């Protein structure tokens, strides 16, 4: 367990050093290019390979159901906790999002592959199913939740059409996610009974192997250490995401009778730090992006301590 996190921390550290070498502008460009490559090419290749090669059973629907219910439960808990804290609506909405949606691929995938080295494709399947559940949920429920905080701060709430318009735009973006299309194509191909050409399997295998390392490198490129003011709400958001979320997901996973090792893998996905996509949503809505970025930084850094603890406490 320790060696897994040390190896991931080493790659993140290389990314941080690379940012200092390249400078802010070039490191931002490199990170943007890595993100495009991962989202548009590498991750879809991994999704396709996992779907067509890994034998699947009831976990194919139990994993998304567990992640869906667990994320909604965490979101509800975060809304209840932050309702008692006097914060500006733009900051409160941002921290609620940071508390609820996890980094299930950029950090979750390499962590699962490190924890389950003998079950590489099965671990990747869990990350893939969590991703295609969490990201659309964030782009729909997360967006509408963030918009609700902003509407509450305006004296004259906009009409229903104006409220739903951003959600419809995000819904179109969900339909344009390459990973979702790769999932659909893989399911259709598998259902057809046709053999997958060895050349295609080899190509997707090579592309998929690059995902974890590039994700960690990109994470290191994006780390920026700034002065921390008013840490209380930020620490609360991190505690909800890193500690309470895996507890809720463990309870739900047992209720839906998710079997090992998928149960353990999903619980660890629930313990991941805040999802980077929340920054995009915050910027589009006008939430407090600076505080959200700090919350992501704190939860990401703290996760290297809490993930081993949650693994030991919750999973023995």
Query: How many whole angstroms separate alpha carbon 198 and alpha carbon 188?
Result: 18
Q: What integer pLDDT is reported at residue 33 of this predicted model?
A: 87
- Tokens 């930084």, residue located: 297
Return the domain boundaries, the chain.
Answer: 58-191+227-315
CB 310 within 8 A of CB 285: no
78-122 pLDDT per residue, tens: 999 999 999 999 999 999 999 999 989 878 888 888 888 877 778
Q: What is the DSSP letter of 274?
A: B
- Tokens 């879809």, residue located: 44
Q: What integer pLDDT is reported at residue 157 of this predicted model?
A: 47
Q: What integer pLDDT is reported at residue 262 of this predicted model?
A: 92
Q: What integer pLDDT is reported at residue 169 of this predicted model?
A: 67
Q: What integer pLDDT is reported at residue 224 of this predicted model?
A: 67
The pTM is what?
Answer: 0.80
Instruction: Using alpha carbons, select from 21, 147, 46, 31 the residue that is nearest to residue 89.
Output: 147
Three-state secondary structure call for residue 57:
coil
Which parts of the chain have pLDDT scores under 50? Answer: 155-157, 163
Radius of gyration, CA atoms only, the chain: 19
170-213 pLDDT per residue, tens: 667 667 778 888 888 988 998 888 888 999 989 988 988 887 78
């Amino acid at each position: 367990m320790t060696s897994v996190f040390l190896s991931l921390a080493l790659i993140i550290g290389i990314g941080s050093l690379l940012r200092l070498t390249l400078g802010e502008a070039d490191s931002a460009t490199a990170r943007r290019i890595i993100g495009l490559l991962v989202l548009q090419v590498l991750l879809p290749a991994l999704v396709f390979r996992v779907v067509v090669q890994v034998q699947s059973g009831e976990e194919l629907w139990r994993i998304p159901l567990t992640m869906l219910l667990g994320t909604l439960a965490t979101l509800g808990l975060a809304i209840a906790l932050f309702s008692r804290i006097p914060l500006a609506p733009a900051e409160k909405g941002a921290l609620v999002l940071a508390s609820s949606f996890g980094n299930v691929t950029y950090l979750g995938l390499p962590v699962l592959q490190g924890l389950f080295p003998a079950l590489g494709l099965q671990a990747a399947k869990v990350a893939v199913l969590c991703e295609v559940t969490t990201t659309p949920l964030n782009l729909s429920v997360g967006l509408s939740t963030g918009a609700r905080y902003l509407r509450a701060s305006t004296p004259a709430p906009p009409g229903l059409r104006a409220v739903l318009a951003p959600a419809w735009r995000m819904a179109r973006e969900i339909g344009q996610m390459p990973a979702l299309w790769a999932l659909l194509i893989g399911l259709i191909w598998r259902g057809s009974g046709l053999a997958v050409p060895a050349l295609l399997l080899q190509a997707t295998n090579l592309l998929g192997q690059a995902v974890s390392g590039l994700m960690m490198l990109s994470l290191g490129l994006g780390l920026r250490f700034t002065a921390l003011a008013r840490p209380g709400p930020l620490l609360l958001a991190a505690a909800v995401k890193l500690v309470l979320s895996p507890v809720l997901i463990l309870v739900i996973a047992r209720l839906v009778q998710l079997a090992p090792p998928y149960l353990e893998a999903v619980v660890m996905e629930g313990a991941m730090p805040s999802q980077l996509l929340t920054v995009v949503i915050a910027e589009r809505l006008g939430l407090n992006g600076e505080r959200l970025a700090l919350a992501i930084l704190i939860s990401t850094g703290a996760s290297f301590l809490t993930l081993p603890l949650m693994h030991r406490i919750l999973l023995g």
